[in-house]
Amino acid sequence: MEKSEKIRILVVDDSLFMRALVSDMLNSDPEIEVIDTAKDGAEALKKIPQKRPDCITLDLVMPGWNGLTTLNHIMAEYPTPVVILSAHSKEGADITIKCLDAGAVGFVLKPSGELSLDIKKIKTQLLDEVKAASKVSIGKIKIPVAEKLTMPKRKILLKRKIVVIGASTGGPQTLESILPSLPYDFPAPIIIAQHMPSSFFSESLAEHLNEICELKVKVPENNEVIQAGTVYLAPGGFHTTLKLRRTKEDGRGMRDEASIVLVSVANDHPSSIALSPSIDMTMKSVAEFFNGNAIGIILSGMGDDGREGMRAIKESGGSTIAQDKSSLIYGMPKVVIDDGYADKTLPASEIAGEIIGIVER
């Protein structure tokens, strides 16, 4: 690859040592070139119009402007795809979710705090995130305002249905343009398998979505029985599936209820920790227990996680929807569409309406 074709990166971090480590990792890839570094947000803002980077890696904790303040300046003055380098803490997770809301494309978790001597552990993920972010059109980053929808007047839902959504990079932003559209009386449970590095980030995202949605959004507990009208955001670091259990209703005999099963990735599936929670595992479980009453949705993300899950839902008689080319990262949806596992291909702004239509059939 010629030098002129390389992805041009600006590295922003207050630590000289971390700037060097991150730059070395990025420069080791023949497709990437670190064109400059900046020690803080103010310096970064001066260099962006001069260097015109394709993508920026941005530390969260810096003197002066922190990462969120710096990001707000970047998106207001020189909109550029940004990948956040986040700390593994609840505070770091909260700020990271705010950064995604403010326009960051994705984030990578520093393995051991702000000064991560072992940062090379996340080299592959960082390279993948930067490459994907550099291809994102700035026009896609703005989150469309979700239109409030209502449920058609109908007394009885003829079949118990369930919605399962899979997403990765770009997913949190896309969820903001879908979930707030769903009304408070939505008559089905929703399970979301969103790739997250730890439960800290899942909890922060659930709290954020719960504030802007009429439906209750939460991270589920192990063995929790799923309820209609609740959104269950699978925790990072765990694969999430369903199991059926028989319960007795007062005077009405036995009925089957679906409950959440959380499986630690680190303990039982260490090779799949980067893709947790697994979209395929969650969707296959939903397809098995709900058959033709499952609605599968695949959103923005890299790779092909979700392809087999969407196939399972479609082959069991369920309905499937893939986000179209408006996806921030048109990777996972494209695979599902190309393989013929999507019944509908829609922009994020139309997905909520389609979900309501399917549930009411």
Which positions are catalytic? Answer: 168, 195, 305
Measured distance CA(272)–CA(221) in Å, rounded = 21
Instruction: State both tokens at 47.
Output: 């260099």
Cβ atoms of 235 and 221 closer than 8 Å: no
54/98 Cα distance (integer angstroms): 22
Rounded Cα distance between 58 and 71, Å, is 8
Nearest to 230 by CA among 220, 222, 245: 220
- Bridge partner residues of 263 (DSSP): 239
Distance CA 306, CA 164 (A): 11
Say how far residue 217 (Cα) sits from the centre of its chain: 15
Residue with tokens 């991270």: 219
- Could you tell me how many residues make up the chain? 361
